[in-house]
Structure 1
Amino acid sequence: MLISIRAALQPIVAGLEKFPPLSLVQGKEYLLPELSLKLVEQAYQRVDMVSRRGEFAVRGGILDIFPTTAEHAVRLEFFGDELEEIREFSVSDQRSSTTKLEQLTLYPARELIITPAVASRAREMMHEFPNLSAMLEKISLGMPVEGMESLAPALADQMVSIFDYLPRKLTVVLLSPEKAAARAASLVETNDEFLHAAWDAAVDGASAPIDLTGGGFIDFAAFTEKMSKFQLLTLSPFGEDSEDVVNLGLLEVPNFKGVDATALEWVATQIDQGHLVVISAQGHGTAERLREVFIHGKVQADLVDEFPANPKPKTVYVIQAPIKKGFVSEASKLTFLTNTEYYSKSSYASPQVRKLAVKRGAAVDPLTLKSGDFVVHEIHGIGRFKELVQRTSGIGARQHQREYLLIEYASPKRGYPEDTLFVPTDQLDMLTRYVGGEAPVISKLGGSDWARAKGNARKAVRKIAIDLVKLYSARMNSKGYAFASDTPWQHELEEAFPFQETPDQLTTIDEVKKDMEKPIPMDRLLAGDVGYGKTEVAVRAAFKAIQDGKQVAMLVPTTLLVRQHTDTFIERFAGFPVNVKSLSRFQTAKEVKETIAGLATGEVDLVIGTHRLLSESVKFRSLGLIIIDEEQRFGVEHKEKLKAMKTNVDILAMSATPIPRTLEMAITGIREMSTLATPPEDRHPILTFIGGYSEKQVAAAIRRELIREGQIFFVHNRVATIEKTANDLAKLVPEARIAVAHGQMPEAALEQVVVDFWEKKFDVLVSTTIIETGIDIPNANTLIIDRAEHFGLSQLHQIRGRVGRSRERAYAYFFYDPSKPLSETSHDRLATIAQNNELGAGIQVALKDLEIRGAGNMLGGEQSGHIAGVGFDLYLRMIGEAVSEFKGIKLDSPAELKLEIPIDAHIPDTYLDSERLRLEAYHKLSAASGETSSRATLDSILAELEDRYGKAPQQVKNLIEVTELRQIANRVGLKDVNLLTSVARLQPVVLTESQQVQLSRQYQGLKYLQSANSLQLPIPSSADGVVSGQELIAFAREVFEVVANLQREEM
């Protein structure tokens, strides 16, 4: 068992052994309600859709759960009470994988289990501590809450040490006792500081802090006393002159920074001195590459699966193992290297996680509508969503139920109640959520205002569409370079990636490569949240271009980013003959001259630079790919210069919060767009705190980070007072090494400060928003923003993205000036940033920013009125339609199809009780009802529903059939189909006289009203009257197909 000093000193709740793990075996019988109750007792949280560890959901005979100790979520399918199947599923698209399990063991999801005694204590404490009443109320109701373990000392019966559970005969090894003692002292001190900060707040009017003394860290003396009961060994770098001390004589390995010649010379010396040399690599690709490097350098190297028992002389052994640090043992004549020393930067990752064998579908993103939300109906205008309602129509065998969205519209006349519209769920594609600034004007049903607003927006949109189509045509007609397929070296480079690619990354890499292999120039926007692996996509695209003898230019917005990307690319391309150079103001005149000359001759394969790359003196011999990082940061003049460079060159643009102009172009098919939406493995959401500025809280937050040897970003956005702020912090936390960075410093000094911070020479970087983009410092995991109320929303999101980039839990503190009231806009911004603390919140934040600032600021003043009038989504769709029209592409027309059929076609709440997930399912079906959709799409949706929610009832199967009828009706061009009586009515149907005669022979009693283009024909009879159910659907399908065939003949 490995345990950190922090965990060793922190008491745990006593009595956890009384909650044995829950074991579930396939084929055995369990009562689902009883099982759900046990899971709640084990502190699992019941939700409608499982997305993170510690959650479960029950839907019919399906139980989804994400065990806290499992790599993937698990779906349990019951037949009656029998557990029929246990299978893994992916939380990103909610689909099952092919991996089946025979049994499942579930450990408690939390350390603090809510027993009746714990709930009762929480109830008592609610009145004493009003500032914690929301958390305590949930605990009192038996609901687990994020962060409730912090209250464990006050709520649990007793706290004990982990060592109280360990057997006496155990051997305990304590690493660096001196360091452990110092860390223990810091932990106890910081704990006390947080408590004092809370008491100080209490003096200012907040409630007194809870007595959590029983849960504080034990001091090192008490810890040492507990250790005395075990057999204790210590490992220390400091030697002692004692018989009990054994000197291991281990030495450190030098750092070669990827320089082959130096490493080969040093390894050869070790071999000559009789050492066995072993080098470990993270992945198979890296191991292969290292073996090749040694063989190329005339050193015998073998790739092995395990430590050699009988090593050959003068041979280096390369082994695949996740080891972080090497050593030299003179006594054992053993030299052990790792790729960390060889390539200078640790790419240590957790062992590769088995990929889920699951076909990637669209990520689940339900149309989240709450009562009161504004919606836009394409035909009827802006209304307010009230609720989902079920209505019953018809009598006898033709009685049927359907589900509708109830939308409220403006009153037709003053003094009259509001109008309501029942939108059938199969027309959900007519609705979008309203985004566009302030509360909009609600439309009147049948009024002319909506038609006018749409007409004005369409006129405005046509101009934008013409410009976009010109761009698109120029690209489509220009001859680009078609890159060759992947080479063996490309596969080697990709194998050497030390982390597990996310499904999104694999899809995006595939899309980029396919674009590059086409003769048309690529123009792809890659939108991905901060730290989601955009750089690796760029690495692979660049390598592909270089393999084909082309040069690559990477354009980044800041000089600091140039340095970081250069290091990343040099590290990833180590061992391959690729010449990487950088171009920014930090290069000397001589270096710049050499790089520019190398670009002209083709010696330089990849150049990474700021807008310096766009200067006229920079000429390429054979430029094949331009990569633009943080595209939204470049100004208009830079983009114009780029346009001149890129007429027939492939472009890969990357952005963390794409601005709507780029979103707009991507959505309308002018440029392709890929989205990275899956967080990397082991990444946690950032814990975000918002409150008034407090010195004690700041000091405690800094010290907490220092204890775990991390670093802190402190953002203060006023250059005039930044030095004073840094001095104040130095007085608050004297042990912290503090540096200052801001944009008015000389460039060289600024670069030096950031590099020093990167190399851990400082603990706290007090800076302006210069850190907003792209500074990647995985060791910095606490962010403090002073006067957060003065920042924009996407700015706050970008800055928060500087932390939480490793597997450590990150903290973000947004402090505002407590002496001044917050404006409504500032309050909204801070509330949004607090709510969107999930991974991947970037695009949501971009859309929310649009709502708060009003879209006009982003698309230009003259557009703002049109966007407010019709909403952002419909505005984008209009641009898309106008562009398609200019390109001569036929789109599904948005006209309303009214299909009335007396059949139960809906999703019963007994099958799926979550309104949110029912809406999501309806949305998918509605999107699949267009004329370009197929039956295969519907079968796939039904398969997904049955996988996620169990066997579909007849009403759901009917819904699939009715949706297929809608597909056919849309293809035929029908707008009104009524099958509610004994006569079927279809409109509009255009028939020639000969077609009327042909049809009347087939259907006795047929009527055709030419003036109304209306076809009427009797519905066949059955013993109970006219046919219903499946027979009626079959009849409708037959009639639709007959009309379709007649139309085809006419053409």
Structure 2
Amino acid sequence: MSLAGLDRLLNDSASFARALDCFGESTGFATIEALRPALIAGLLRRRWQAGDHGALLLIAATSREADTLRSAIASLVPEAVTAEFSAWETLPHERLSPSAETVGRRAAALRLLREHDGSRPLVMVASVRAALQPVSSHAATAEPLVLRAGEVGESLDVITARLVEMAYTRVDMVTRRGEFAVRGGILDVFAPTAEQAIRVDFFGDEVDQIRRFAVSDQRSAGEALPQIELWPARELLLTDEVRERAAALLPRFPALSSLLEKISQGIAVEGMESLLPQLLPDLRPLTALLPAGGSVMVVSPEKVASRAVSLAETNREFLEAAWAAATAGADAPVPTDNHGMLTMTELRDAAGERPWHTVTGFVADLDDAAVESGGAEPGESEGAQNGAAMQVGDDASQIVVAGAALPRLTPGGDATAAIVAYLRDKVAAGWRTVVTAQGVGLVERARDVLAEAGLAARIVDVLPNEFDAGVIYLTVAAAWSGFESAESRVALVSEAEFFGRTVSQHQAPSKLAKRRGKNVVDPLPLQHGDYVVHETHGIGQFVELTQRLVPTGVGRTAAERGKALREYLVLEYASSKRGMPRDKLYVPTDQLDQLSRYVGGEAPSLSKMGGSDWAAAKKKARKAVRDIAVELVKLYSARVASPGHAFSPDTPWQHELEEAFPYAETRDQLTTIDEVKRDMERPVPMDRLVSGDVGFGKTEIAVRAAFKAVQDGKQVALLVPTTLLVNQHLETFQDRFAGFPVQLRPLSRFQTEKESRETVDGLAAGTVDVVIGTHRLLTDQVRYKDLGLVIIDEEQRFGVEHKDSLKKLKTGVDILAMSATPIPRTLEMAVTGIREMSTLATPPEDRHPILTFVGPRSDKQIAAAIRRELLREGQVFFVHNRVSSISRVAAQIAELVPDARVAVAHGKLSEHQLEQVVVDFWERKYDVLVSTTIIETGLDIANANTIIIDNADKYGLSQLHQLRGRVGRSRERAYAYFLFDPDKPLTEHAHERLDTIE
């Protein structure tokens, strides 16, 4: 399904048709933002029909805009090949390497450009940050190493050497992209472009088998693969030429000796890409890599030019700050003349004779201003209309395309009713109307909503050339803003307008078959001296993983019988005879099911092989288990006797909701979800505690449990300790439930008296399905018509005064409690009784480690760090723990970075003021939150990925860890800066703490 054909509908617009006819050399277009994808699609199709099969490079201001544009073009022109050329997460001169995932995506995009043969339209989309960074010759000409099952080729040693040259890192156990490990005849490798790690079994020089495996448990899963492509892990390869140049640069750059020495030895090292200009002088602009016949289009040239200026300024500030830090002992930056980035002028010059187009929201001719509603677009400042902004494509004749954004509708729960009324009016006026959503289920629900309103709606795969009168057409397509074209009498409504919000549909990586087993031993991470438990012989100590030749017993004669190589874990046990060496046990790797990890607290005594001590220990443990079981039976008997609701098995809507989850679930998440559902489907009330760190997926478990309860007509109460968490959970639940007929309401101090009364009345009448609130949910005023599930978030934060209310809520309903730090066992039993417990111990895959900087405070460093985060549309925490001077510090930050919107939060604000500031920051109304340590716990703001801690030497180690944990909760790379006063000497303890945190 797609929106193919939408541009043909718009051909009835005189201005749209004129734009297509005038598409030539260096053309400039002006239209509203919502109409741009359709305009670009129409231009692309017109070029193709005219025999122009060159690639089109679209340059957007930000990576988010680039991604949205790519999705829209793919939906409008499904026959085209679309790709995004990603930007590095790091600045070119920083001694930090871009992630392997980014390198892989860039390599795949460059390959498309290089191999484009004109058989299909090619659209490459890049942010200005990606476009302005020149590309290395290694990246531009990279080719993959291909391994095919059943093929005899190079030896494993040769392949290993090639992987090293391709800048892969050799490790003992593969956990991240860009790593590989070799064990005997097995190669484990995680390629930058691969969704999962790959395990290759060799039989001599023959590739015997290729399979995927999960890095979480190192176990193979899924079907065998016919072949794999291993792309380089870096954009600087460790070729002989590069190694020789690195060695030659050593005398010139003594401050970079450690970096250059490792490169000269063929060792991939963090940050070696910062030396690209010195080691690979032939860096080429992206526009120069376009194949013959290609063209460039700059989308929102004003914003692009403004971003380019900000990028250059941030680069300069970071470089100056890095040199200043180097004088205090930090690593010296890499010397560079141009900060490693091109200017827009240089980028255009590199395009040569290739056409250079622009599409803007600003109209040069005031007579044509009627196409706009007036003023700048959202996100474009007035200043963007002046100066350098108009230098991009200012020689192009501007062609205006008429169109308008949809009228502002009532946000929230009334959005659907308002848009239905809008569509009714348009259909009655004879307009052709289209509704899009990103999932089949959402499209079907939109059709049902329209049918209930008495409107004819039809789901189609492709928009027809002729629309039936009075029919609204629906299709599955990537969402962007809706628009209307009065000239062509066409209106497009996206799911954002129809349902009131956009449902995330990010491409989730393929999910391997998940294993749920016991605490088995994985031999790869074992270190010498680690304790393991053998089922028969007890506690032993791991020595090594070794190989031995053993008779195979295969063959009819003694001469024919050969030997095979087998791997063993060598374990040591206490000596069976005094004064003799320890006994050793050789455990074949195919018998690992007999081993488990030792999880006790203290170092245990080794067991004796075949001795009675292990048997006695097991007997004692069995008795203790029986005693606990008796206690549990008594405690659970009352609850089991209480009647509960047995929820129905999963419905198709439940499967649809879960498939829409934009990330791959962790193994622990899947196990916990299964446990929760199994408990809910039993007639005994559930009482389960889910324990897991922030960001490990507890909220998604609550979402699925709540949805399951609503499917059975039951109400759900989500109890949280703060009003901020009410808003955070409300946003999450609304995003996940968008398009489903679930009525969500908040209940906290932030609701007016009227809103609170409506919520309470709705709970009593049964019209509210899910309520998210603070302790107000525990008051006597709240009555439920049919409460089926209570979810308690951060249970340990509810005081003793809430115990009785919690117990009342728990009678006969299912309870799901969640906590990152459960309270001690005695208090837990006093409040909730013994219950089932699930643990989320596995972090999400592909989460980047937080990059930590410890050094003296510098205004340049602070400004550069904030600007870097703003460039990727992120937010910043700045921690200053003195209320008396916090306003002054906030004013200094506002002066250092005038573009930043700065807010202040501290404990002396009233509770309402404090929560309002934090809510505004969470809603992205501010870029920088200057606060005291009140942000230490309880905040989960995924868009904030930089934290700067002032006077970090004054904090305890635990506080520093907690503060650093405020960032790094998304897929973006996070940065933590721990700064101290350069004019005051550090105490010995402060020095140790900062050394530890770094």
TM-score (norm 2): 0.72
Aligned with 1:614 (options 758, 778, 790): 778
Residue identity opposite 1:246 in structure 2 = I
CA contact (8 A) 2:792 2:816 kept: yes
Cα distance change on mapping 1:488 and 1:181 into 2, 3 Å: closer
Secondary structure of 1:2's aligned partner: strand
User: Deviation string for 1:901-931 (max 9, x for gaps)?
Assistant: xxxxxxxxxxxxxxxxxxxxxxxxxxxxxxx
Cα distance change on mapping 1:546 and 1:167 into 2, 3 Å: closer
Matched, 1:342 2:342: no
Worse overlay, 378-387 or 704-713: 378-387
1:496: Cα distance to partner?
5.3
Aligned with 2:340 (options 216, 226, 237): 216
The corresponding residue for 1:947 is none
1:39: Cα distance to partner?
1.7
Cα distance change on mapping 1:73 and 1:487 into 2, 3 Å: closer
1:634: Cα distance to partner?
3.2
The corresponding residue for 2:700 is 536
The corresponding residue for 2:168 is 44
Task: Give the whole-Å Cα distance in 2 for the aligned partners of 1:816 and 1:658.
Answer: 34
Aligned with 1:645 (options 800, 809, 831): 809
Task: Give the whole-Å Cα distance in 1 for the aligned partners of 2:770 and 2:928.
Answer: 34
Cα distance change on mapping 1:519 and 1:830 into 2, 3 Å: farther
Cα distance change on mapping 1:656 and 1:326 into 2, 3 Å: farther
User: Deviation string for 1:251-298 (max 9, x for gaps)?
Assistant: 223455452210101122232343322222122222221221111121
Task: Give the whole-Å Cα distance in 2 for the aligned partners of 1:595 and 1:304.
Answer: 39
Worse overlay, 653-662 or 250-259: 653-662
Matched, 1:767 2:926: no
Aligned sequence identity (%): 55
1:516: Cα distance to partner?
0.6
Cα distance change on mapping 1:681 and 1:406 into 2, 3 Å: closer
Aligned with 1:248 (options 393, 398, 401): 401
Report how many aligned residue pairs link the two structures.
820
CA contact (8 A) 1:380 1:445 kept: yes
Matched, 1:281 2:437: yes
1:192: Cα distance to partner?
1.0
1:432: Cα distance to partner?
3.0
CA contact (8 A) 2:519 2:596 kept: no
Query: What are the residue-to-residue correspondences of 1:799-810 with 2, within 5 Å?
Result: 799-810=963-974
Aligned with 1:687 (options 816, 827, 851): 851
Aligned with 2:152 (options 29, 34, 37): 29
Cα distance change on mapping 1:799 and 1:611 into 2, 3 Å: farther
Aligned with 2:306 (options 161, 165, 182): 182
Matched, 1:705 2:869: yes
CA contact (8 A) 1:283 1:495 kept: no
Cα distance change on mapping 1:385 and 1:568 into 2, 3 Å: closer
CA contact (8 A) 2:665 2:844 kept: yes
Residue identity opposite 1:9 in structure 2 = L
User: Deviation string for 1:621-663 (max 9, x for gaps)?
Assistant: 4332111123343344445642343243211122345567599
Task: Give the whole-Å Cα distance in 1 for the aligned partners of 2:898 and 2:427.
Answer: 48
1:87: Cα distance to partner?
3.2
Residue identity opposite 1:631 in structure 2 = E
Residue identity opposite 2:400 in structure 1 = N
Task: Give the whole-Å Cα distance in 2 for the aligned partners of 1:126 and 1:159.
Answer: 21
Structure 2 gaps of 5+ residues are: 1-123, 366-394, 551-557, 559-565
Task: Give the whole-Å Cα distance in 2 for the aligned partners of 1:588 and 1:518.
Answer: 39
Cα distance change on mapping 1:362 and 1:454 into 2, 3 Å: closer
Secondary structure of 1:182's aligned partner: helix
Secondary structure of 1:246's aligned partner: strand
CA contact (8 A) 1:286 1:496 kept: no
CA contact (8 A) 2:145 2:230 kept: yes
Cα distance change on mapping 1:676 and 1:206 into 2, 3 Å: closer
1:524: Cα distance to partner?
1.9
Task: Give the whole-Å Cα distance in 2 for the aligned partners of 1:407 and 1:363.
Answer: 21
Residue identity opposite 1:8 in structure 2 = A
Query: What are the residue-to-residue correspondences of 1:324-339 with 2, within 5 Å?
Result: 324-339=480-495
The corresponding residue for 2:47 is none
Structure 1 gaps of 5+ residues are: 835-1051
CA contact (8 A) 1:523 1:671 kept: yes
The corresponding residue for 1:260 is 416
Task: Give the whole-Å Cα distance in 1 for the aligned partners of 2:740 and 2:142.
Answer: 55
Worse overlay, 235-244 or 119-128: 119-128
Task: Give the whole-Å Cα distance in 1 for the aligned partners of 2:336 and 2:618.
Answer: 61
Please give the root-mean-square deviation of Cα atoms over the aligned residues, in Å. 4.7
User: Deviation string for 1:507-560 (max 9, x for gaps)?
Assistant: 433322211111222122223443344323212211222333332211112111
The corresponding residue for 2:118 is none
The corresponding residue for 1:742 is 906
User: Deviation string for 1:412-456 (max 9, x for gaps)?
Assistant: 9xxxx99978677699969736647xxx8999999xxx9xx9999
The corresponding residue for 2:752 is 588
Task: Give the whole-Å Cα distance in 1 for the aligned partners of 2:827 and 2:263.
Answer: 43
CA contact (8 A) 1:93 1:363 kept: no
The corresponding residue for 1:953 is none
Task: Give the whole-Å Cα distance in 1 for the aligned partners of 2:631 and 2:955.
Answer: 34
1:615: Cα distance to partner?
3.2
CA contact (8 A) 1:92 1:364 kept: no
Residue identity opposite 1:337 in structure 2 = V
Cα distance change on mapping 1:520 and 1:294 into 2, 3 Å: same
Task: Give the whole-Å Cα distance in 2 for the aligned partners of 1:124 and 1:107.
Answer: 28
Cα distance change on mapping 1:329 and 1:769 into 2, 3 Å: farther
Task: Give the whole-Å Cα distance in 2 for the aligned partners of 1:822 and 1:370.
Answer: 36
Query: What are the residue-to-residue correspondences of 1:592-991 with 2, within 5 Å?
Result: 592-639=756-803, 641-656=805-820, 661=825, 670-676=834-840, 683-773=847-937, 775-788=939-952, 799-815=963-979, 819=984, 821=986, 827=992, 831=996
Matched, 1:155 2:321: no
Task: Give the whole-Å Cα distance in 2 for the aligned partners of 1:429 and 1:282.
Answer: 47
Task: Give the whole-Å Cα distance in 2 for the aligned partners of 1:734 and 1:5.
Answer: 22
User: Deviation string for 1:116-150 (max 9, x for gaps)?
Assistant: 34334545667887876655454333222343322
Query: What are the residue-to-residue correspondences of 1:333-372 with 2, within 5 Å?
Result: 333-351=489-507, 353-356=509-512, 366=522, 368=525, 370=527
Worse overlay, 547-556 or 348-357: 348-357
Task: Give the whole-Å Cα distance in 1 for the aligned partners of 2:546 and 2:986.
Answer: 42
Secondary structure of 2:399's aligned partner: coil
Secondary structure of 1:289's aligned partner: helix
1:739: Cα distance to partner?
0.4
Cα distance change on mapping 1:33 and 1:492 into 2, 3 Å: closer
Secondary structure of 1:233's aligned partner: strand
Matched, 1:296 2:441: no
CA contact (8 A) 2:503 2:735 kept: no
CA contact (8 A) 1:625 1:651 kept: yes
TM-score (norm 1): 0.68
Task: Give the whole-Å Cα distance in 1 for the aligned partners of 2:208 and 2:725.
Answer: 54
Aligned with 1:8 (options 118, 131, 137): 131
Task: Give the whole-Å Cα distance in 1 for the aligned partners of 2:396 and 2:260.
Answer: 56
Worse overlay, 250-259 or 33-42: 250-259
Task: Give the whole-Å Cα distance in 1 for the aligned partners of 2:844 and 2:567.
Answer: 44
Task: Give the whole-Å Cα distance in 2 for the aligned partners of 1:49 and 1:140.
Answer: 25
Secondary structure of 1:159's aligned partner: coil
State the structure with more CA Rg: 1
Aligned with 2:686 (options 508, 522, 529): 522
Cα distance change on mapping 1:493 and 1:194 into 2, 3 Å: closer
Task: Give the whole-Å Cα distance in 1 for the aligned partners of 2:539 and 2:974.
Answer: 41
CA contact (8 A) 1:29 1:83 kept: yes
